[in-house]
Structure 1
Amino acid sequence: MTDGFVTLADIDKARHALAGKVVRTPTVQSASLSKTIGTPVHLKLEHRQITGSFKLRGATNALSNLTGPEKQQGVVAASTGNHGRALAFAAHLEGVRAVICMSSLVPQNKVDEIRRLGADIRIIGKSQDDAQEEVARLVREDGFTMVPPFDNANVIAGQGTLGLEIVEDVPEVETVVVPVSGGGLASGVAAAIRAVRPSARIIGVSMDRGAAMRASLDAGKPVLVEEYESLADSLGGGIGLDNRLTFAMIRDLLDDVILLTEEEIAAGMAHAYAQEREIIEGAAAVGIGALLAGKASARGPIVAILSGRNVDMNQHRRIVCADATGERAIPCPA
């Protein structure tokens, strides 16, 4: 790390640590989006990762950097679902005990999958911050080793490997559109892209319901936000008032962070299904949604990251069926 930022050297090191443990996901051109936007648009299909999201990269790299005694103590994390699933998977492979703390807002399908992977589950409160308090207690009282979902150098470096793949697959990329929540993915990707393709623009996208990173950028410091149900449930949660890395990296490395309505997120999910033949969760659809809504006006070639597929299929079915009949997609899970 240099001046508190994760560097290309950190990301290269992570890539070696992840070799054989994660999938190098494909990047494909979207004929429909390219025609609609009027410039080449590519999709980074990270939702095809082993655990269904990019989170496996960061969790695996963080776990690989723990000492033997730290692993023996067991690992614990707060999660909106996908980090917990990734950490549970990585920990299971190494025979490490994992405890995942989540709020009551985490969809049941994500909770069930984490339980299936053998992790202990704690449902605490109605926010990511509430869940984080339980993590802190388990570290303090029971000696667990915390593996944060985003504000951790090894997690960020692991997510940054995705950025290296983007530049290798689309060397002339001019714009990268990336989902933003706590900022682990966006800061890692931005660190990689800025180092290899400094002229490229990097646009972050979140939902307009309790977007903690956008609110913090507007305030000039990390702030608390109220959490709400959203189709992009993986983008919920705070960034931590004591945020050490991702806030500054997002502030300094991204060109913009834009917000989408629930209808625009639903449109992204519906487009991915109808035109790209891909099933993705709301958080993964924000890049497509931003392009379709004209909110991510950008020069091409463009790469939009589809970050995860761990969606409740009943919710997904309602959204794509509503779109097919011309109805207004419901904003939140029924």
Structure 2
Amino acid sequence: MTDLSPSLTLNDIRAGADVLRGVADDTPLVPSPYLEAQFGQPFWLKLENMQPIGAFKLRGALNAVANLPDGTAGVTCCSTGNHGRGVAYAAAEKGMRAVVCMSELVPQAKVDGIRALGAEVRIVGRSQDDAFAESRRLVAEEGLVEISPFDDPFVIAGQGTIGLEIMERRPEIETLLVPLSGGGLAAGVALAAKALKPSVKVIGISMDRGAAMYESLRAGHPVEVAEYASLADSLGGGIGVENRLSYPMCRALLDDVILVTEEEIYRAMQTLYYEDRIVAEGGCVVGTAAVQAGKLTLTGPTATVITGRNLDMDVFTRIVSGRDVILGDVTIKGMPYGA
């Protein structure tokens, strides 16, 4: 793809906003009276689960596909689910072939959702790295253009429009809690938010097993991590050892990174459902999970991104019913809400 400068700017994000206008922009930013009462500060939810594909990933995918060279035959990507949906949707809008590569750990509901949008799906290995290798093979052997889920300038700029919308609508916000995986969302949101309000704090939140960006930031360079089944499956996968954009941007722009347990994610999914009537993936609720668990104290108006709703409804039903959930070799004991 045609590259931008490694140093993205607010202008790149505003250009992305022009691409998305009327298709994937202006999702609701709603207050949560319950969370405000619990945490003692105004608390806002950016509802990216209301996107046409049910997840924020549509923003970056649409922006990336819109900036492809003329004559591009098709696109490929590796994905834990939502990026694949976004690429499939964006490619279908252009009448373009899309091949989405995924590991065996991706829930079947997400695989089915991508196929329903007209994309081909390749299931390869048990890690995001295996899926990435297949995507690279398709680039080399079939001439497809790869769209990274996080390490692409147009993807990052597209995701950054979320930060733009939040801060333009609620400039009083002092802290943003952003789910953190490969870092495309966190990097874009942090860039936009801090360009508009340098004092705003942007905190990345991830699960405590297999958090690739967290481990990379600790190591001082991108590293590979083991992957595990998680309620926050959309946050799984590596960041790529040759990461050139999202890692340095997260290192420069994030004020902190916090990890939460599966039990804390379970509780936060229940809270969002019972108190705000929102169906959300485990990866969406890590921000509220961190606050509920006492892992950070809020000092002013706060917002978090509810990133998607594309989850296994059987698992979700078990969670809101307070029943056990099995994740690979780990069982999360049932916890009735309010108990």
TM-score if structure 2 supplies the norm length?
0.94
**Separation (CA, whole Å) in 2 of partners of 1:46 and 1:95:** 25
Change (3 A) 1:247 1:331: farther
**Separation (CA, whole Å) in 2 of partners of 1:28 and 1:59:** 25
Q: Name the counterpart of 1:21.
A: 23
Q: Residue by residue, what CA displacement relative to the aligned partner does 1:34-63 show, whole Å, maximum 9, x if unpaired?
A: 010011111111111110110000000000
| 1:262/1:332 contact within 8 Å kept | no
State whether structure 2 residue 157 is matched by structure 1 residue 157: yes
Q: Residue by residue, what CA displacement relative to the aligned partner does 1:272-320 show, whole Å, maximum 9, x if unpaired?
A: 1000000000000111111111113232100011111101100000001
Q: 10, 13, 36: which one pairs with 2:12?
A: 10
Deviation at 1:23, TM superposition (A): 3.7
Q: Residue by residue, what CA displacement relative to the aligned partner does 1:203-260 show, whole Å, maximum 9, x if unpaired?
A: 1000011000000001000000000000000000000000000101101100001100
| 1:213/1:222 contact within 8 Å kept | yes
Matches for 1:321-332 after TM superposition, within 5 Å? 321-322=321-322, 330=325, 332=327
Shifted more, 287-296 versus 225-234: the winner is: 287-296
Q: Residue by residue, what CA displacement relative to the aligned partner does 1:5-58 show, whole Å, maximum 9, x if unpaired?
A: 321000000000111221410111111100100111111111111101100000
Deviation at 1:330, TM superposition (A): 3.3
Aligned length, in residue pairs:
327
Q: Name the counterpart of 1:62.
A: 64
Change (3 A) 1:116 1:3: closer
**Separation (CA, whole Å) in 1 of partners of 2:326 and 2:112:** 24
For structure 1, which runs of at least 5 residues remain unmatched after alignment? none
Q: Tell me the secondary structure at the aligned position of residue 83 of structure 2.
A: helix
| 1:26/1:45 contact within 8 Å kept | yes
RMSD: 1.4
- AA partner of residue 4 (structure 1): P
**Separation (CA, whole Å) in 2 of partners of 1:261 and 1:307:** 18
Change (3 A) 1:301 1:2: farther
| 2:124/2:134 contact within 8 Å kept | yes
Deviation at 1:65, TM superposition (A): 0.2
**Separation (CA, whole Å) in 1 of partners of 2:282 and 2:248:** 26
Q: Tell me the secondary structure at the aligned position of residue 176 of structure 2.
A: strand
| 1:203/1:296 contact within 8 Å kept | no
Q: Name the counterpart of 2:258.
A: 258
For structure 2, which runs of at least 5 residues remain unmatched after alignment? 332-339
Matches for 1:141-290 after TM superposition, within 5 Å? 141-290=141-290
Segments of 4+ moved more than 4 angstroms: none
Matches for 1:61-140 after TM superposition, within 5 Å? 61-70=63-72, 73-140=73-140
| 1:101/1:132 contact within 8 Å kept | yes
Deviation at 1:3, TM superposition (A): 6.7
Matches for 1:22-41 after TM superposition, within 5 Å? 22-41=24-43
**Separation (CA, whole Å) in 1 of partners of 2:157 and 2:51:** 17
